[in-house]
């Protein structure tokens, strides 16, 4: 069983218990455990085999959860969950996803009206049964009807990169509003998560009504969903991914609360809980308006003040996930994270020789225009027939074209590369003779991603041990929100890569971001040089670079951890 599957069991357990009115802190413990398991780079089963002690060493895993994890790893089942599933039908759990309907209302409707399926919920909301129930009314019935339509569209999150232009457009408009002095986006957007759900915008103003009107009247806003003195919620008009519409919160606070609000609304929730716990230890209280002591304002104008008040160095938003950054900040050892401007080379891109849209020269010119000093042209190998992949003869001819391009474009180095498939039988798509002539070989999985873990590991290990392979590209093969990616024993792969001096890629494409942040952090721990590349298929592809850098930052990577921040000369020394 994969870590993600085991994590999901604990999340489901929490959902079911929530409907039954269980202690909210117990639910949090289960959800934290799910999150912890999901974030591990090693299979939790390996720890489970070592015994309860290895498990309780993990943050938030105690005696009870350790036992449950061991049972799951041994039997593939969680007995307590099976019992609960019989008590609460799946349709009831699904109702928790309706915005505005929580566990108490779900429980009441299930108990009083015996509503079990989506259709029954819809009928009861329409015929007045819901509205007649004590504590319910017409508005709640309406909320359910609207919500039922929404939850049909699973996964209300969109790629950060897709949301970015819309958010920037709205922020630009708000910053022109005279009533607004400062405006910024917080939430998971500011933390540069791979995907974003609700957008959280923060403004300072002495006239919140005018500030909120500015957002309400923005052409991007379809509907104002809620509005109070300091908080407004709207739905945006833009349709993402065919069906998803995002909602945006605007919070308006005074200047002296800007830092406190930034800190508070940037999250993550888990990070904030840790910060606020530290505040309590110091006799302080932190909320979105200020740090206070006995109700008296201590600070709140800047984020730095907030962190200082609780004895921490400022934490970059990308690291605020309560995955150890608090302890690092306490020691004053927050790393200087890599920045987009640090990147000097892009080592994964395609041309018209396979499925790219531009020539070698056009790609080189475009890369140079973006300030890059070196690139690798890495078209597909022959297995990728859909993309017109290259065999040995065409590849050698292509490299001759690269040699010619080197003469035409000055000021940028061009490596003769190849993106070579690792076939299902754990051989490489091109033989060693031609691969040995390359400057740069990216080995990748494209096919057979659903093979069992043992075979996937074997394929990756074979590639890593091949002396011609420079790097493993988009290691998991996942497409965010659409395809899970191969089942990999990362700890084994990273060990081998470190031994054989093979690098690992962070593929910067918005839908890949592969390695993900947990695995990139683990690769760094193994001392493996990481390369952030765009996998560009056109001259516009280079804009994706920033998303790869965001991913690297969330993994805690510094300039030094990223090989393509080196000068070309230094980078060459890393090649074997």
Q: Which is nearer to DNA, 31 or 416 (CB)?
A: 31
| Nearer to DNA (CB atom), residue 288 or residue 342 | 288
Rounded to 10°, the helix 118-126/103-113 angle is 80
> Of 37 and 515, which CB lies nearer to DNA in the complex structure?
37
82-85 own/partner pairs: CB under 8 Å, 24+ apart: 84/13, 84/16, 84/17, 84/20, 85/16
Instruction: Please identify, using beta-carbon distances, which residue of 33 and 430 lies nearer to DNA.
Output: 33
For residue 442, report the phi and psi dihedrals to the nearest 5 degrees. -95, 120
- Residue 149 CB, shortest distance to DNA, in Å, is 15
Nearer to DNA, 202 or 532 (CB): 202
CB 505 within 8 A of CB 473: yes
Q: CB atoms < 10 A from the CB of 221, how many?
A: 17
Structure tokens, 512: 């890949």
Beta bridge partners of 483: 479
| In the complex, minimum distance from the CB of residue 58 to DNA, in angstroms, rounded to a whole number | 7
Q: What is the DSSP letter of 34?
A: H
Residues β-bridged to residue 497: none
Report the Cα 195 to chain-centroid distance in Å.
Answer: 6
431: burial class by Cβ within 10 Å (0-12, 13-18, 19+)?
exposed
Q: Which is nearer to DNA, 250 or 549 (CB)?
A: 250
Give the nearest distance from C-beta 3 to DNA in angstroms.
17
Q: How far is the CB of 76 from DNA (least distance, A)?
A: 20
Helices (H) then strands (E): counts for the chain: 26, 17
Question: For DNA, which is the closer residue by CB, 261 or 364?
Answer: 261
Cβ neighbours of residue 165 under 8 Å, at least 6 residues apart?
A: none
C-beta of 513: minimal distance to DNA in Å?
23
Assess contact for 509 and 547: CB atoms under 8 A: yes
Contact 535, 505 (CB under 8 A): no
**Please, what is the minimum distance in Å from the beta carbon of residue 518 to DNA?**
19
Contact footprint for DNA (CB under 7 A): 23, 25-26, 28-30, 33, 56, 59-66, 98-106, 131, 134-141, 143, 187, 198, 200, 226-231, 247, 249, 265, 269, 272-273, 276-277, 280, 285-289
118 vs 426, which CB is nearer to DNA?
118
Least distance (Å) from DNA to the CB of residue 546? 24
Cα torsion for 430, 433, 437, 442, to the nearest 10°?
30
Distance CA 477, CA 512 (A): 8
- Smallest gap from Cβ 230 to DNA, in A, equals 4
Dihedral angle of Cα 264, 267, 269, 271, to the nearest 10 degrees: -100
The CB-of-352 to DNA minimum distance in angstroms stands at 45
**Paired sense of beta strands 296-299 and 291-293, if any:** antiparallel
Q: How far is the CB of 321 from DNA (least distance, A)?
A: 15
Cβ closest to DNA, residue 187 vs residue 417: 187
Indicate the SS3 state at residue 314.
coil
Compare residues 323 and 519 and give the one whose CB is closer to DNA: 323
Question: Which residue matches tokens 């379809």?
Answer: 222
């Amino acid at each position: 069983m994969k870590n993600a599957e085991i994590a999901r069991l604990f999340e489901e357990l929490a959902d079911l218990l929530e409907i039954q009115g269980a202690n909210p802190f117990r639910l949090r413990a289960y959800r934290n455990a799910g999150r912890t398991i999901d974030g591990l780079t090693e299979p939790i089963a390996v720890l489970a085999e070592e015994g309860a002690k290895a498990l309780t060493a993990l943050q938030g895993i105690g005696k009870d959860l350790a036992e449950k994890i061991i049972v799951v790893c041994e039997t593939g089942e969680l007995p307590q969950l099976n019992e609960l599933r019989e008590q609460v039908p799946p349709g009831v759990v699904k109702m928790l996803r309706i915005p505005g309907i929580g566990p108490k209302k779900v429980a009441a409707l299930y108990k009083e009206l015996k509503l079990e399926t989506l259709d029954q919920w819809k009928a009861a909301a329409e015929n007045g049964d819901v509205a007649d129930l004590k504590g319910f009314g017409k508005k709640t019935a309406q909320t359910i009807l609207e919500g039922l339509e929404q939850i049909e569209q699973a996964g209300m999150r969109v790629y950060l990169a897709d949301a970015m232009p819309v958010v920037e457009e709205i922020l630009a408009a708000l910053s022109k509003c005279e009533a607004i002095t400062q405006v910024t986006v917080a939430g998971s957007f500011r933390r540069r998560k791979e995907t974003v759900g609700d957008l959280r915008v923060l403004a300072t103003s002495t006239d919140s009504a005018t500030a909120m009107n500015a957002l309400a009247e923005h052409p991007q806003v379809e509907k104002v969903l809620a509005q109070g003195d300091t908080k407004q919620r709207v739905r945006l008009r833009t349709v993402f991914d065919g069906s998803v519409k995002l909602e945006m919160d605007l919070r308006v606070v005074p200047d002296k609360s800007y830092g406190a609000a930034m800190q508070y609304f940037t999250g993550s929730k888990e990070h904030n809980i840790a910060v606020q716990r530290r505040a309590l230890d110091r006799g302080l209280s932190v909320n979105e308006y200020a740090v206070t002591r006995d109700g008296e304002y201590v600070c709140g104008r800047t984020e730095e003040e907030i962190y200082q008040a609780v004895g921490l160095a400022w934490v970059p938003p990308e690291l605020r996930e309560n995955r150890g950054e608090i302890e690092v900040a306490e020691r004053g050892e927050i790393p200087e994270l890599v920045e987009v401007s640090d990147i000097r080379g892009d080592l994964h891109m395609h041309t018209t020789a396979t499925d790219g849209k531009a020539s070698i020269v056009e790609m080189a010119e475009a890369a140079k225009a973006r300030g890059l000093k070196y690139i690798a042209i890495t078209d597909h190998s022959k297995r990728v027939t859909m993309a017109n992949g290259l065999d040995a003869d065409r590849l050698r001819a292509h490299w001759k074209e690269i040699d010619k391009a080197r003469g035409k474009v000055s000021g940028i180095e061009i490596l003769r590369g190849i993106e070579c498939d690792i076939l299902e039988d754990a051989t490489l798509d091109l033989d060693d003779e031609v691969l040995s002539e390359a400057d740069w070989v990216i080995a990748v999985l494209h096919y057979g991603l659903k093979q069992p873990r043992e075979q996937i590991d074997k394929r990756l290990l074979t590639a890593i041990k091949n002396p011609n392979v420079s790097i493993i590209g988009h290691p998991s093969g996942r497409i965010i929100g659409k395809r899970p990616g191969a089942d990999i024993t990362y700890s084994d792969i990273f060990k081998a890569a470190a031994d054989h001096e093979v690098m690992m890629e962070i593929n910067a494409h918005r839908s890949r971001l592969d390695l993900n942040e947990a695995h990139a952090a683990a690769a760094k721990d193994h001392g493996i040089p990481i390369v952030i590349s765009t996998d560009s298929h056109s001259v516009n592809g280079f804009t994706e670079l920033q998303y790869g850098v965001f991913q690297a930052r969330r993994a805690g990577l510094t300039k030094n951890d990223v090989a393509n921040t080196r000068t070309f000369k230094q980078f060459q020394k890393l090649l074997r």
